[in-house]
Chain A
Amino acid sequence: MAYVATRGGERAIEQSQRLFCAEMGDITPDRIAEIRAAMPYLIDRIMGEASLYDEDLAALALAQTGGELYEAVLLLRAWRTTQPRISVAEPVTQDALFTHRRISAAFKDIPGGQVLGPTLDYAHRILATTVLDGQVSTPDPVTPAKMASPPRQPSVSAWQAENGLLSPATSDHLTGNDIPDVTREPLLFPAKRAHTLQSLARAETGGVLALGYAAQRGYGQAHPTVNELRLAEAEIVVTHPRGTRFSAGRVKVSQAEVVSKKGSQLELGFSATMGWNEVKVIAAATLDLNSKGAPKGSATEEEFFLYHTEGVESSGFCIHFKLPHYVTFQSSLDAMRDAKARKAAPEKSPEPAE
């Protein structure tokens, strides 16, 4: 075992951090407010991956890291550990969501109908370059309908179960601290379903998309159709010391069900996350749909996708390779030189004992 010491390391490290931050300038309350207001979908993505919902903290993490997403998520995960857990809220159910967007690609006439909500799905992808010439790009205002959309919508899968297309989901009735929690228990395989869904909820979006896309392109066993996609707000229902249960506010959530035919019935894959991030939940639900019986080492195998989509661990492992490995690499070079030397040396006749 050997070590390499770096002279002047402390000064160089200090200056390198200053160099990183110098480009971004002052971090001010106004900047945080602007990031929060201007980039809600980026804020949502960060909060989901950090598994910590607070728009101001997410905006601060983005400002402090210059938009380096892995660092921003790491900052938030680290900060989270400084806070006590006050309680576990009542479980959110699909039919209680305050719904902003609800679509189905499987059935056009779902109970409650379809509302597109906020989306760029049908937008022309044209960059507003006139802004760079000094003009202000002001979005056209929404023309509100006279009637309000129902705040809560029925569940498509419950309707399918009533019509014999799906096996009805039976609640496990777990609440509070009885619900398995990957932040307090190790992730073991085969994983508890609660661990799988929680891990996907906090997974890195790009990683989930890459593996979900692989399954969608044919490297999985089931082709997904979006049964129901929702962007909504969920109530955080907590308990007053007197026992009164009440909503202490709302948070944005995304939820996707994907469906595939299996025998005479349909089979569902499910995913949900905090914040509005529909690419992630569709890809994650595809992985959930495909995970049962997936071959070992395939993109849709639970252990494979859960380990490889944990953003803090995967990015941390990846970037550790740039840290000094001089001694281990030198050892590899020594072994390589020895092998070369042995190959170049004239063959000796074997000793009688060999």
Chain B
Amino acid sequence: MTPSPRSLTGWTHEAQLAVLARSDPANLKAFADPLIETLPEITVVENRTGLVMLPMRDTAQGTHFHLGEVLMSEARITANDHEGYGMRRGRDLEAAMAMAVVDLAVSLGRAGDDCLAFLEAEARAQADADHETLCRVEATRVDMETF
């Protein structure tokens, strides 16, 4: 029987993965590297680059069509019947592996406080970057008036 994966308090698995996928690669690698020693023996199932096709829905007729492919890096690892997965944009296999290590650590319930702190810091940085972008976008808002 596959053991149930653990999770971080206040975090859905979806939110955790989304933050890891967008996190700064240098920060992610630096955080994941020492985590490896705290984990049971890891088996690497996959660590590769590949393409993800990105479809879109047309607003004129509702047709789904392909916009094109995005280069991604993927890592899939296991330990003690738990699975860790990483997928990120670009050709950085180490960053994808680092994401998988953090995902595995959370699933195993290891270094929970550290993972939580890392995710919260990265989430805050990403939210700040988005907020700054959107404030700059808002500066270009126009109000039309008919004379």
**Interface residues in chain A, defined as those with a beta carbon under 8 Å from any beta carbon in chain B:** 47-48, 50-54, 56-57, 80, 83-94, 98-101, 108-109, 113-118, 142-151, 155, 157-158, 169-175, 179-183, 193-198, 201-202, 234, 236, 238, 240-242, 244-251, 253, 255, 257, 268-270, 272-274, 288
Whether B139 contacts A52 by the Cβ 8 Å rule is no
**Interface residues in chain B, defined as those with a beta carbon under 8 Å from any beta carbon in chain A:** 5, 13-14, 17-18, 21-22, 48-72, 74, 76, 83, 85, 87-91, 103, 130-144, 146
Give the contacting residue for A247; candidates B18, B50, B58, B63; CB below 8 A.
Answer: B18
Whether B54 contacts A236 by the Cβ 8 Å rule is yes
Q: With contacts A169-B58, A236-B72 known, what are 13 further pairs, Cβ within 8 A?
A: A48-B68, A85-B51, A87-B52, A101-B137, A116-B142, A142-B139, A144-B138, A148-B131, A149-B135, A151-B130, A240-B17, A248-B89, A249-B22
Whether A169 contacts B62 by the Cβ 8 Å rule is yes
User: In the assembled complex, which residues on chain B have CB atoms less than 8 Å from the CB atom of A242?
Assistant: 5, 13, 83, 85
Whether B133 contacts A100 by the Cβ 8 Å rule is yes
Cα A240 to Cα B83 with chains together (Å)? 10
Query: What residue of chain B has the Cβ atom nearest to residue A275's Cβ?
Result: B68
User: In the assembled complex, which residues on chain B have CB atoms less than 8 Å from the CB atom of A149?
Assistant: 134-135, 137-138, 141
Cα A148 to Cα B140 with chains together (Å)? 11
Whether A240 contacts B13 by the Cβ 8 Å rule is yes
Cα A198 to Cα B107 with chains together (Å)? 39
Known: A54-B91, A193-B63, A247-B18. A91 touches B57 (CB 8 A): yes
User: In the assembled complex, which residues on chain A have CB atoms less than 8 Å from the CB atom of B76?
Assistant: 241
Whether B64 contacts A174 by the Cβ 8 Å rule is yes
